[in-house]
Amino acid sequence: MRKAIIAGNWKMNNTASQGVALVNAIAPLVTDANCDVVVCVPAINIPAISEAIKGTNIKLGAENVHFAEKGAYTGEISAAMLLEYGVEYVIIGHSERRQYFGETDETVNKRTLTALANGITPIGCIGESLEERETGKTEDVLATQIHEGLKGIEDITKIVIAYEPVWAIGTGKTATAEQANETIAFIRTTVGEMFCPKCAAQLRIQYGGSMNAGNCKELMAMEEIDGGLIGGASLKAPDFAAIVNFDK
């Protein structure tokens, strides 16, 4: 039985003090959650949020990690820097990183392997654009991202995959629950072919396309969907808590 995981992706939102106020508001609303609860926050907020979540069931995530241990990589963050503040999860390969900052399947793979080597759970993002979906290329695009982004991993059950249809991020559009479930089933099958079906059956796969308080129950009722990577709704305590408590 796969345990659901709901992870907030704050993106470039919230100062440290605003972030502390937000987690202080979220914490009492999610104390009885039956899923893993994660907040992935801007790097500069990590020290403050690390302190704020102590004594709660909220786990700390980052929004990126570099693949080098250290060096001349201005603006990047190493795994050791994240570990010092208790970071347990890291988002890798988000569509915005791919679109705006030149992330590729190759760099996604390198970052993923580095996170795993340091005991940090990667939340690896894959997804297709609207044009790719409308031209029937969804499965080809996802298969390439899976094969290139996950190669070299020894234990696939130690990562989380977030399926994020690019056309449904920040647009207000959402794939139907059936569409999301069907695509995630394809992802699981592809991972099973690459690794092993038993491993794929244990792999947690989130839906990351504008899940919100209004549609979370329907999406989470789908057999293949194991959680959500939440953008805008993670910035509002009542909305994020409603998603975390989808089964209540």
Q: How far apart are CA 95 and CA 87, in angstroms?
A: 22
Q: Which of 94, 96, 128, 224 is catalytic?
A: 94
Query: Range of 51's domain?
Result: 5-244
pLDDT of residue 172: 64
Does 239 score more than 80 pLDDT? Answer: yes
Nearest to 36 by CA among 14, 55, 60, 12: 60
Contacts of 100 (CB under 8 A, 6+ apart): none
Domain count, the chain: 1
Q: Render pLDDT for 70-95 as a digit per residue (tens, 0 to 9).
A: 999 999 999 999 999 999 999 999 99
Q: Render pLDDT for 195-230 as a digit per residue (tens, 0 to 9).
A: 999 999 999 999 998 899 999 999 999 999 999 999
We report the CATH number of the domain holding residue 93 as 3.20.20.70
The reply to whether 66 belongs to the active site is no
Q: Render pLDDT for 17-52 as a digit per residue (tens, 0 to 9).
A: 999 999 999 999 999 999 999 999 999 999 999 999
**Model's pTM, two decimal places?**
0.96
Q: At which residue do the structure tokens 């403050």 appear?
A: 48
Q: Which of 96, 103, 132, 164 is catalytic?
A: 164
Is the sign of the CA dihedral 23, 29, 31, 36 positive or negative? Answer: negative
The reply to whether 154 belongs to the active site is no
**Amino acid letter, residue 140:** D
The two three-digit tokens of residue 195, written as one number: 């690794």
**At 236, phi and psi to the nearest 5?**
-125, 115
